[in-house]
Chains A and B, each alone.
Chain A
Amino acid sequence: MLAFCLAGTLPLVPLYRLRVLRQPRRLALAVVLAGAPFLAWDLWATHTGHWHFDAAQTLPWRLGGLPLEEIAFFVVIPVVSILAFEGVRAARGETSSRSGVTRRARQRDAG
């Protein structure tokens, strides 16, 4: 499932020349800050019994009671969300790439 999400969004990077992966610190910070509260929610919900994971269909490794894939989920989903969002912006010409911004700024200065 996670591989499917990545397979759908990673091609957006070369396709729209997204600069998302070139800003690893910004991406990591966004992923950690966004993912942490949801990971805490997930840990709590799993321990309370709101939901549970089928041991036969997940990897045997557990971290705080969660399958390893579930922790990877909170890294992969924020990353693919950001890629999808930046992909849409790039496709509509709202690119945040530095050259795009300077070009717009130059046009503004000239006008």
Chain B
Amino acid sequence: MTYTALAGLAVPLAIALDRWVLRTRLTSTSSWWLAYAVIACFQLLTNGWLTGRQIVRYDAGAIIGSERVVAFGDGRLAYAPVEDLGFGFALVLAACALWTWLRPRQDDE
């Protein structure tokens, strides 16, 4: 499986975890989306630094783009493959959903 396919799969899986497995439904709250928007901006910044400096390099066969590291275009956004956004979205949502699901009993509404 390519990184493109896996990242595309991780996003719906994380949403399913939030909505139906843990029933935390963070994806229905504006607060989570606002937090994610902030995180995504910083992800573009930090990930751009990691990929722009070629600290991490990607195999052209696994991503939409090629091995060419460009700031925008060729399947890349701020130097990083667009697939990284899927990976990041799933990781952030999974972490927040699990955190919410693990809240102490006395905090239950």
Chain A positions within 8 Å of B, measured between CB atoms, are 1, 4-5, 8, 23, 26-27, 29-31, 33-35, 37-38, 41, 45, 48-54, 57-58, 77-78, 80-82, 84-85, 87-89, 92, 94, 96, 98, 101
Question: Which residues on the A side are within 8 Å of B10 (C-beta)?
Answer: 41
Q: Show 29 residue pairs from A and B whose CB-CB distance is below 8 angstroms, ordered by the A residue.
A: A1-B50, A4-B46, A5-B46, A26-B99, A26-B104, A33-B98, A34-B95, A35-B95, A41-B10, A41-B87, A45-B3, A48-B62, A49-B62, A50-B3, A50-B58, A50-B62, A51-B3, A51-B57, A53-B57, A54-B54, A77-B91, A81-B35, A81-B39, A81-B91, A81-B95, A82-B96, A84-B39, A87-B35, A94-B31
Q: 1/0 per residue B65-77: CB within 8 Å of A?
A: 0000000000000
Q: Is A38 in contact with B50, judged by CB distance below 8 angstroms?
A: no
Q: Knowing A4-B46, A30-B102, A98-B107 are in contact, say whether A85-B57 is a contact too (CB < 8 A).
A: no
Q: Which label, helix, strand, loop or mixed, suits the secondary structure of the A interface?
A: helix
Chain B positions within 8 Å of A, measured between CB atoms, are 2-3, 6, 10, 26, 31-32, 34-35, 38-39, 42, 46, 49-50, 53-59, 62-63, 87-88, 90-92, 94-99, 102-104, 106-107
Q: Which label, helix, strand, loop or mixed, suits the secondary structure of the B interface?
A: helix
